[in-house]
């Protein structure tokens, strides 16, 4: 079984927590299109007072909030402080996901997709991973979606931008993260917090930018999923990356796109124009030519 693992930010660190949950609802609806049974574990500070399917598990932790994203507003004197804040934010994500990883063990999953709580996923993922045995996969081809304009752009090397792009054999990830560091088989969140900084490969859970070099250290070759597997959602007002939207016009989200990501409930399809498809194709190949991985 393919399982999905995410964390939800602390209510005190969001601009609009109801908006954060609305985005998470879209993610859940997207995942509901998977063709075989899955599990989603979301670790949060407060369990949402909303209705969710029974395949969604929430785990509440009493971890303190971290400072908000300082983004590009830092001057040179504030840079070190900004780096510390960002490090604390990644640590919050990682500790929550580590709690979720412990919880997922009871389901004996084959693969775990480490994901952000606002992205969308191709409906064919669960059936694809039923037939795989390789320990690590990446989303190479995907989409960059501007939710404010309901447009998308194709992207090669999506893993360079998006936190919802790595899938691991569950046992490989569990062993890589915890090794022999766990105080017992089912540690509490507080016990896990106490040992977290001693976990050598914890950044596999924290920051997608570290996955490639860490897997290289572990002698693991990462394979690419052979289809457009996920979307990177921007233009929400709540992105940790502070990215608010496209700098050029994309392609209208149409019925085919909604079918692929199971989003009919939230978005009305629009017609894709020939010119937008042409421009998207040109931009895609230009972007691909510039990729370095």
Total structural domains in the chain?
1
pLDDT at residue 87, as a whole number = 83
pLDDT of 247-277, one tens digit each?
556 888 999 999 999 998 878 877 666 655 5
pLDDT of 38-84, one tens digit each?
999 999 999 999 999 999 999 999 998 886 654 444 454 544 555 66
Report CA torsion sign: 254, 259, 260, 263: positive
pTM for the whole structure: 0.87
pLDDT at residue 50, as a whole number = 96
Cα–Cα distances (Å) from 279 to 92, 250, 284, in that order, read 39, 8, 8
Nearest to 47 by CA among 26, 32, 62: 62
8 Å CB contact between 7 and 98: no
Structural domain harbouring 254: 2-290
Domain with residue 61: its CATH number is 3.90.550
pLDDT of 233 strictly over 70? yes
Nearest to 120 by CA among 205, 24, 241, 243: 24
pLDDT of 130-161, one tens digit each?
999 999 999 999 999 998 888 999 999 999 98
> 3-class SS at 5?
strand
pLDDT of 171-209, one tens digit each?
999 999 999 999 898 899 999 999 999 999 999 999 999
Provide the residue count of the chain. Answer: 293
């Amino acid at each position: 079984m393919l399982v999905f693992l995410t964390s939800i930010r602390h209510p005190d660190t969001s601009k609009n927590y109801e908006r954060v949950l609305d985005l998470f609802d879209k993610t859940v609806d997207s995942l509901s299109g998977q063709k075989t049974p899955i599990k989603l574990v979301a670790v949060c500070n407060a369990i949402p007072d909303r209705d969710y399917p029974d395949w969604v598990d929430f785990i509440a932790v009493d971890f303190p909030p971290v400072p908000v994203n300082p983004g590009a507003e830092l001057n040179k004197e504030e840079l070190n402080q900004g780096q510390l804040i960002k490090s604390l934010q990644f640590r919050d994500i990682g500790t929550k996901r580590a709690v979720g990883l412990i919880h997922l063990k009871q389901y004996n999953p084959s693969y775990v997709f480490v994901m952000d709580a606002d992205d969308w996923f191709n409906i064919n993922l669960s059936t694809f991973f039923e037939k795989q045995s390789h320990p690590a996969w990446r989303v190479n081809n995907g989409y960059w979606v501007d939710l404010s304009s309901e447009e998308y752009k194709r992207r090669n090397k999506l893993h360079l931008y998006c936190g919802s792009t790595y899938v691991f054999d569950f046992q490989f990830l569990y062993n890589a993260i915890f090794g022999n560091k766990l105080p017992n088989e089912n540690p509490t969140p507080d016990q896990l917090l106490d040992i977290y900084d001693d976990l050598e490969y914890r950044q596999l859970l924290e920051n997608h930018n570290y996955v490639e070099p860490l897997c290289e250290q572990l002698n693991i070759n990462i394979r690419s999923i052979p289809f457009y597997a996920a979307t990177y959602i921007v233009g929400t007002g709540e992105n940790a990356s502070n990215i608010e939207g496209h700098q050029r016009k994309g392609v209208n989200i149409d019925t085919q796109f909604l079918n692929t990501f199971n989003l009919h409930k939230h978005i009305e399809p629009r017609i894709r124009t020939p010119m937008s498809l042409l421009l998207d194709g040109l931009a895609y190949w230009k972007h691909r030519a510039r990729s370095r991985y």
